[in-house]
Structure 1
Amino acid sequence: MKANFKFSNLCGTVYRQGNILFTPDGNSVLSPVGNRVSVFDLVNNKSRTLPFENRKNIAAIALSPDSNVLITVDEDGRALLVNFKRGVVLHHFNFHNPVLTIQFSPDGKYIAVTRETHVQVWRTPNYLLREFAPFNLHRTYTGHHDEVLSLEWSPDSKCFIATSRDMTARLFTLDPLEEFRPKTFAGHRDAVIGAYFPSDCRLIYTVSRDGAVFTWCEKPNEDQGDTDDEVPTVSTPRDIGTSIARTRWGVHKRNYLNQHNTKVACSTFHRASNLLVIGFSTGVFGLWEMPDFTNLHTLSISQERISSIAINPSGEWLAFGAKKLGQLLVWEWQSESYVLKQQGHYSDMNTYIATGGDDGKVKVWNATSGFCFVTFSEHSAAISGVEFAKQGQILFSASLDGTVRAFDLVRYRNFRTFTSPSPVQFSSFAADSSGEVVVAGSIDSFEIFVWSVQTGKLLEILSGHEGPVSSLSFSPTGNLLASGSWDKSVRLWNVYGRSRAVEPFQFGAEVLALAFRPDGKELAITTLDGQVTLYDVDQGRQKSVIEGRRDVSGGRKVDDRMTATSNSSGKSYNSLAYTADGQCIIAGGNSKYVVIYDVRDGVVIKKFQISENLSLDGTEEFLDSRRLAEAGNLDTLDTHREDSDLEDRMDVSLPGVQRGDMSKRRYRLEARTKCVRISPTGRAWAAASTEGLLIYSTDDTIAFDPFDLDIDLTPRAVLDTLASQSYLKSLVMAFRLNEKLLIQRVFESIPHSDVRLIARQLPVVYIMALLRFVAEHLDKGPHLEFDLLWVKETLLAHGRYLRDRSGEYASVFRALTKGLVDVQRNVSKLCDDNVSLLSYLIDQSNARASRAVRGADLMDVDKP
């Protein structure tokens, strides 16, 4: 099995904190997810997560006007300069202070950054040149007496306005002007969170946290006070920046939002349409047309605070981010419809690629697009296990609320609910390979409950364990059920047999997880002491033991009193999964590592670190002594000043409440893996972790993986060979070069009459690559008969060879089966639709003919 998995995508988390923004073309939204950035393509309905990571959670992001340069800044002020189109980190930089806002100037030449009470303007690095110091400071601007909250550039990039907690806004020029002093806009009674220029720059709008919106205009003379007259009409100056700086500004109009018991959380402004968008702490947002302050729209999108708002360049789509819910919305305000509505699990994610979380929700994710397409909210407590039926049209879930539910993925409804005679909490779950029987293990009574899916009745209760049942698994090939418990034993049950005599396998520590090999002949068991034990199911004996304590250990919590090497907590795996060929095991636990083992040799093939986010506990090997003070570690203190208001700091939840706002009870999350699973094709695996659903794959479009390459093998040589009609040679050369587009061109150029001969003469070393390519081509290409001909001739020519190596080719067979089943389903659906349409047309034709006959008969009757 290949171990060259690379990070592919992040599902389950769509927004964490920081600002969200649209790309300049308005088709995509950039959203910070922890220490990563996800890009949501709203036109093609896809999402991708950029492969780089910041040291800690991202606090602010900015994208250049030409979409080439992306800057991400974490909570400590450490920034990454990224080539946005390639997702490659170009430079690391440290601002040495927390950054709340970072913005490119409209011309893209400068970057403005807020640093506590100061504003710094830097020249934009040139990503085309290898500069010794990519960040060059242009100027530092001072004058505010408290933290600067936001920035806004003028359209010509000659000046900008900054707002602060000191209840003022200040206007600065990019370059010094004669006799110019920064203008101060005072009069608000709370922190000013936003200031904006309209397109003609004759006015300035300021928004404060208490809901006051001031309109500022030119003040003709010193004696004139505030006025509510019409806005003075003056011709637009040629040099906007200089005109703004030379103008004496005064308050023209004061408007108030009058939202009871709420605060303004964020705001944004669209210059072209003069739209002011304001989000409140209660989850309500509104649109106002300026300068008349006409309310166009008000809507409540959630019950929690809106953390960030963005508007696309055309002014049609609004994007909202809610930190506490982990929610991302894109709203088309004119048609009042959702363009995108995604929400991850706002607590820990427990299972995988249907996922269940501690919030009681079951979500099903599209691994290709990265979007959640259905959410089931019937459970009222944390989800302990989810599993698909073999056909994939039924999803089962077990929960601590004492129910097991079956969901129909065709009609998206809960069609069956299984309960126990007396209320218990289910801590583990498994479904039979046929999908006819489901079982769940109890954490209270230590019993295993068996139900029939068809009737919904309880078939049997299996007793024998003396501790909570931690894991259940059905054998893929037989009728055996394996159960692991905290009583340090594993039992094998013959569910369909009459005998209930079970001989337990005893261990030296509590059993946490178990998994059957795909052929059902081997059972892998992990225990609390960090060991992975392999059992021969047929002979009932132990085969080997893998010591995993040193492999899974790593990472120290902020409040740990001992080093990571000396700490025994968490040094075990709580989830196991076999690869499709049964040669490797992937394991994850309460650690930052996911490990792949070779079963035969018991050695580590590769270790993956799920996150490098230092905002999480357990990602650092050694604590920084400089962060230690008399009161403890400084990282445990909330110094971000987000809850500055009294009503934001108050916790009104009842003691012991698990639903609702849990963030006030746990500030630092811990890096851990709750569940790991491998895809049936073996080309990808996923881990349900604190950061979300991490997907790693061996996608050939991302990684260049040539096979048997020499200096004479080039794309031009392949095309020349194809032009000479040497189809077999060109196909082999394309597989050796392993470029997907080149393989597709050669594959589609082969005449169908030569397929049989080429399939017979193809060397066996390329059969796996051919079948895998055909499986993908079936799913994406229109050449259905051509692909089926290749499959038929390859299996006829090399069937005996493939049968003897069925385990090695298991992942390829699964991918091929999936492609063929999808094709059959699509063709049958198309035929059914055509039959229905033809039947309808025939019925309509017969009805028209019968009406014509009746009309002719009536005419004959009316004739004298």
Structure 2
Amino acid sequence: MALETQGMPQLELEAVIGFNGHVSAGLRVHPDREHLIYALGCSVILKRIKDGKQEFLHGHTNNVSCIAVSKGGSYIASGQVTFMGFKAELIIWDYTQRAIYAQLPLHKAKVEALAFSPNEKYLVSLGGQDDGSIVVWNIETKQAICGSLASPQSGGHCFTVHYSCTNNNIFVSAGSGTLRVWELDLPNRKIRPIECQTGMLKRIVKCVQISEDNQFIFCGTTSGDIMKINLNTRLLSNFGPTKEKYSMGVNVLRILKCGNLLVGSGSGTFALCSSTNFKTLKKAQLDRGVTSIAIRGEGQQFYVGTDAAQMYRFSYDDFQAELISTSHSSAVKDVAICFGTSELFATCSEDDIRLWHIDKPKELLRITVPNMTCNSLDFMVDGHSIISAWNDGKIRVFAPESGRLMLIIHDAHKMGVAAIAGTKDCRRIVSGGGDGQVRVWELQPHSHRLLETMKEHRAGITCIKIKSDSKECVTASADGACIIWDIVRFVSLQMVIANTLFRTVCYHPEEYQIITSGTDRKVAYWDVFDGAVIRELEGSQSGAINGMHISQDGRHFVTGGDDKLVKVWDYMAGAVTHVGIAHSGSITSIKICSNNRTLLSTSADGAILRWRFPHPVSP
């Protein structure tokens, strides 16, 4: 990737919609009280609370798995996952410089958790299940001081580490059948563990907090209760609640200045409870499991992240949830921009369809069909409806203002509807199925009619584009063929074949050429009339090209794929003019707004990125 983009002008990233809510304790407030810190794919994002402005820390090669912020705020640490047999890197970031301070590859496969010492001199890192070790790092020298196996032989996997609030030589680790207090012996470069005694109480600990006075350890468990351990004696002091346990386990704990506990559970319960008897003082119920809690300042305000990639803001006084951010929690499959206005766009994922405003990337509408996945979607040109393709073989048409289901076409395709497009006159829909069939539907007031089924493809349809006169369309398929169809007489006019699985196809605005791309990493120009290949470009050095779109003036097109790079091309020169580097997952779809000002790209990690398009149309 470095060689491919070296010296290339870079796209300006304007906004990112996305938050990895699956990272345990992955949402933090910086001690300056001005920034939220969280992970998205292999990036760490700093978001200014006041105006939402975002900054990005790039350096990881795979998804970020944990985040820690030092007590004074000088450093941020983040760890990642990688593949079996490879080292998982942890990075210490200089907060002021917004730059990498140290890269420390030692753990295998995954960095599970991180914790800074109160004086910001040491960092403790915990390896994942395939590693199982704890390492203490000297931040100044960027070297490991010492390490040890995290769990005793009789114990299971270790999930978390937490540093003492005041003592730079004491930290705690916990997990399945293990709860240890560690003492750092700096002169001898050793860490020595002492097991905590919980008697007959056997628990799997997911999260740990230590009280400000360094007296007690609080442990949230998968059983839905909280253990209170005396840090000095290492003995169980109390546990609870005994009656109403937290459903689906305690995922995250935070201690407020007043001593009370904030608790987040796997069932979405967010509660304030007493640290003495664990009695619930205040409670709120969220839609999905709580995975992180971040306290701002003295604890009058806090932020809560869920595994559905939502962020909520709470105040201590009223304890009411204010939803401040939403994003997809699974791969975004397609993006469509409302024609003409360039103000609204829609995305679809495994869970739902969402409508967004382009300038203020805020969710306006969510459409959910339970247990069904939307594979593709498009706006009708008049903007009055969203047409969508679903894996249950149905085509659904929704109203973009209300999300009301306007029309449903049952049994549209036997193996699910894979691709969809609407004609410019808004009277017909062309759909492609997983079975390779292409069907043309006529829309009537309150009903529909199947006009024709066209069967020449041998594998699933991946993309459909319709000519501006609504008389022809082109379909791309995983069978290595693109077919141009007459959708008035319902016959094939031309076929182009290549040794690839086609993922996407576009008409040039003048409609004498089409361009295709797919798994062979090539971008090919084809003549519409004789099906001859005119030109082939090396579109990517690694991975398939999954998305492509041409500007309305035909001078530029954009591509994105498994190499995670957004590329802007000059159509006539066949050369890349700009590259966008920010995606953490494979790019799944990409679109240019009709005003040539904005470029949208989506990826497999659930992210939606908005870029400034570098070639605006001259007035």
TM-score, shorter chain, exceeding 0.5: yes
**Which digits, 9 at most, give the CA deviation of each residue in 1:438-465, with x for residues without a partner?**
4333445824223337x24336613444
C-alpha deviation, 1:52, in angstroms = 0.4
C-alpha deviation, 1:288, in angstroms = 1.3
| Structure 2 unaligned spans of 5+ | 1-7, 82-86, 338-344
Residue matched to 1:419: 409
C-alpha deviation, 1:54, in angstroms = 0.7
**Cα separation, partners in 2 of 1:87 and 1:376, compared to 1, 3 Å:** farther
Superposition map of 1:491-640 within 5 A = 491-493=484-486, 500=489, 502=491, 504-509=493-498, 512-526=503-517, 532-534=523-525, 540-541=529-530, 545-548=534-537, 550-552=538-540, 554=542, 573-589=545-561, 592=564, 595-603=567-575
**Cα separation, partners in 2 of 1:585 and 1:214, compared to 1, 3 Å:** closer
The answer as to whether partners of 2:126 and 2:150 remain within 8 angstroms in 1 is no
Give the Cα–Cα distance (whole angstroms) in 2 for the partners of residues 248 and 32 of structure 1: 37
C-alpha deviation, 1:269, in angstroms = 2.6
**Cα separation, partners in 2 of 1:536 and 1:274, compared to 1, 3 Å:** same
What is the identity, as a one-letter code, of the residue corresponding to 1:376?
Answer: I
C-alpha deviation, 1:24, in angstroms = 2.0
Matched, 1:172 2:183: yes
C-alpha deviation, 1:374, in angstroms = 2.3
**Which digits, 9 at most, give the CA deviation of each residue in 1:250-289, with x for residues without a partner?**
5544434446796634332324122223334444444311
Give the Cα–Cα distance (whole angstroms) in 1 for the partners of residues 93 and 497 of structure 2: 50
Matched, 1:71 2:59: no
C-alpha deviation, 1:482, in angstroms = 1.2
Give the Cα–Cα distance (whole angstroms) in 1 for the partners of residues 606 and 55 of structure 2: 12
The answer as to whether partners of 2:20 and 2:309 remain within 8 angstroms in 1 is yes
**Which digits, 9 at most, give the CA deviation of each residue in 1:630-669, with x for residues without a partner?**
xxxxxxxxxxxxxxxxxxxxxxxxxxxxxxxxxxxxxxxx
C-alpha deviation, 1:62, in angstroms = 1.6
The answer as to whether partners of 1:14 and 1:38 remain within 8 angstroms in 2 is no
What is the identity, as a one-letter code, of the residue corresponding to 1:19?
Answer: A
What is the identity, as a one-letter code, of the residue corresponding to 1:346?
Answer: S
Residue matched to 1:665: none
Within the candidate set 355, 364, 379, 1:388 is matched to 379
Report the 3-state secondary structure (helix = DSSP H, G, I; strand = E; otherwise coil) of the residue aligned with 1:587. strand
C-alpha deviation, 1:434, in angstroms = 5.5
**Which is further off, 20-29 or 194-203?**
194-203
Bigger share in helix: 1
Give the Cα–Cα distance (whole angstroms) in 1 for the partners of residues 530 and 150 of structure 2: 76
Give the Cα–Cα distance (whole angstroms) in 1 for the partners of residues 502 and 41 of structure 2: 32
Within the candidate set 330, 346, 349, 2:330 is matched to 346
Residue matched to 1:54: 60
Give the Cα–Cα distance (whole angstroms) in 2 for the partners of residues 501 and 141 of structure 1: 70
Superposition map of 1:191-230 within 5 A = 191-216=204-229
Give the Cα–Cα distance (whole angstroms) in 1 for the partners of residues 151 and 412 of structure 2: 65
The answer as to whether partners of 1:396 and 1:407 remain within 8 angstroms in 2 is yes
Q: How many residues align?
A: 579
What is the identity, as a one-letter code, of the residue corresponding to 1:690?
Answer: A
Matched, 1:448 2:458: no
Report the 3-state secondary structure (helix = DSSP H, G, I; strand = E; otherwise coil) of the residue aligned with 1:50. strand
Give the Cα–Cα distance (whole angstroms) in 2 for the partners of residues 532 and 155 of structure 1: 56
Report the 3-state secondary structure (helix = DSSP H, G, I; strand = E; otherwise coil) of the residue aligned with 2:369. coil
- Structural RMSD (CA): 4.2
Give the Cα–Cα distance (whole angstroms) in 1 for the partners of residues 570 and 89 of structure 2: 39
**Cα separation, partners in 2 of 1:182 and 1:471, compared to 1, 3 Å:** closer
| Structure 1 unaligned spans of 5+ | 126-132, 218-243, 556-569, 614-670, 701-807, 814-864
Within the candidate set 571, 575, 594, 1:680 is matched to 594
Residue matched to 2:93: 82
The answer as to whether partners of 1:331 and 1:339 remain within 8 angstroms in 2 is no
Report the 3-state secondary structure (helix = DSSP H, G, I; strand = E; otherwise coil) of the residue aligned with 1:554. coil
Residue matched to 1:480: 471
**Cα separation, partners in 2 of 1:352 and 1:257, compared to 1, 3 Å:** farther
Give the Cα–Cα distance (whole angstroms) in 2 for the partners of residues 149 and 441 of structure 1: 46
Superposition map of 1:70-219 within 5 A = 70-75=76-81, 76-84=87-95, 87-96=98-107, 98-114=110-126, 120-125=135-140, 133=141, 135-136=142-143, 145=152, 149-165=159-175, 166-170=177-181, 172=183, 185-187=196-198, 188-216=201-229
Give the Cα–Cα distance (whole angstroms) in 2 for the partners of residues 293 and 474 of structure 1: 62
The answer as to whether partners of 1:268 and 1:311 remain within 8 angstroms in 2 is no
**Which digits, 9 at most, give the CA deviation of each residue in 1:394-423, with x for residues without a partner?**
43323233443344343x322521416866
Residue matched to 1:289: 274
Give the Cα–Cα distance (whole angstroms) in 2 for the partners of residues 181 and 474 of structure 1: 69
**Cα separation, partners in 2 of 1:599 and 1:360, compared to 1, 3 Å:** same
Bigger share in strand: 2
C-alpha deviation, 1:597, in angstroms = 4.2
**Cα separation, partners in 2 of 1:693 and 1:579, compared to 1, 3 Å:** farther
Give the Cα–Cα distance (whole angstroms) in 1 for the partners of residues 502 and 182 of structure 2: 65
Matched, 1:691 2:605: yes
Within the candidate set 23, 30, 37, 1:30 is matched to 37
**Which digits, 9 at most, give the CA deviation of each residue in 1:288-321, with x for residues without a partner?**
1122322124455346x54444333333445444
The answer as to whether partners of 2:332 and 2:607 remain within 8 angstroms in 1 is no
C-alpha deviation, 1:32, in angstroms = 1.8
C-alpha deviation, 1:162, in angstroms = 0.4
**Cα separation, partners in 2 of 1:99 and 1:672, compared to 1, 3 Å:** closer
**Cα separation, partners in 2 of 1:501 and 1:580, compared to 1, 3 Å:** closer
What is the identity, as a one-letter code, of the residue corresponding to 2:553?
Answer: D
The answer as to whether partners of 1:73 and 1:99 remain within 8 angstroms in 2 is yes
C-alpha deviation, 1:532, in angstroms = 4.7
Residue matched to 1:255: 240
Give the Cα–Cα distance (whole angstroms) in 1 for the partners of residues 135 and 234 of structure 2: 24
Residue matched to 1:731: none
**Which is further off, 597-606 or 290-299?**
597-606
Residue matched to 2:456: 466
**Which digits, 9 at most, give the CA deviation of each residue in 1:43-71, with x for residues without a partner?**
43x36361503122222212234444322
Superposition map of 1:307-456 within 5 A = 307-323=291-307, 325-332=308-315, 334-347=318-331, 349-352=333-336, 354-378=345-369, 381-390=372-381, 394-410=385-401, 412-419=402-409, 424=414, 425-433=416-424, 435=426, 437-444=428-435, 446-452=437-443, 455-456=445-446
**Cα separation, partners in 2 of 1:398 and 1:392, compared to 1, 3 Å:** same
**Which digits, 9 at most, give the CA deviation of each residue in 1:688-742, with x for residues without a partner?**
3223345363489xxxxxxxxxxxxxxxxxxxxxxxxxxxxxxxxxxxxxxxxxx
Residue matched to 2:4: none
**Cα separation, partners in 2 of 1:380 and 1:252, compared to 1, 3 Å:** closer
**Cα separation, partners in 2 of 1:474 and 1:124, compared to 1, 3 Å:** same
Q: Which has the higher contact order (CA 8 A, sep 6+)?
A: 2
**Cα separation, partners in 2 of 1:68 and 1:420, compared to 1, 3 Å:** same
Aligned identity (percent) is: 14
Give the Cα–Cα distance (whole angstroms) in 2 for the partners of residues 31 and 80 of structure 1: 14
**Cα separation, partners in 2 of 1:392 and 1:251, compared to 1, 3 Å:** same
